[in-house]
Amino acid sequence: MKILLPIQIIICTLAISGSAGCSSESQEANPQESKASSSALDLFMAGALAKDVATVDCTLSDGTVTSCYEITVSGTPTNHQVGPFCPRTTSATEDEVGIWLDGENLYEVTGQFILDLPTIYNDDNWMLHDGEGRVRVTETKEAFEAAARPDVGAEYENYCVEGRMEWIDGGKPITTTVQIPVSPVSKRVAIPAQAPLGVTFNGVRIDAAAPVDAILGAYTIAAFDDCGGHVNPFEGYHMHAATGCGELGDAAKGEAPPFAIAMDGFLIHSTIEGGDLDDCNGHTTDEYGYHYHARSPELNGVLTCYMGAIVPSSRSGPPGGGRPRGRPPHGLGPPSGGENSAAPARHDHS
For residue 5, how far is the Cα from the chain centroid?
A: 24
Listing DSSP states for 312-344 in one string gives: --SS--PPP-S------STTTS--------SPP
What is the C-alpha separation between 17 and 11, in angstroms, rounded? 7
Task: Enter the DSSP assignment of 117.
Answer: H
- Residue 302's Cβ-count burial label (10 Å; 0-12, 13-18, 19+) is buried
What is the C-alpha separation between 26 and 311, in angstroms, rounded? 27
Per the DSSP assignment, residues forming a β-bridge with 71 are 178
| Local confidence pLDDT in tens for the 350 residues of the chain | 222 333 333 333 333 333 333 333 333 334 433 434 446 788 999 999 999 999 999 999 999 999 999 999 999 999 999 999 999 999 999 999 999 999 999 999 999 999 999 999 999 999 999 999 999 999 999 999 999 887 888 899 999 999 999 999 888 999 999 999 999 999 988 999 989 999 999 999 999 999 999 999 999 999 999 999 999 888 899 999 999 999 998 888 889 999 999 999 999 999 998 879 999 999 999 888 999 999 999 999 999 999 999 999 744 444 433 333 333 333 333 333 333 223 333 333 33
Listing DSSP states for 259-319 in one string gives: EEEETTS-EEEPP-S-S---TTSEEEETTTEEEEEPPPGGGS-S-SEEEE-----SS--PP
Radius of gyration of the chain, Cα coordinates, nearest whole angstrom: 20
What is the C-alpha separation between 275 and 132, in angstroms, rounded? 49
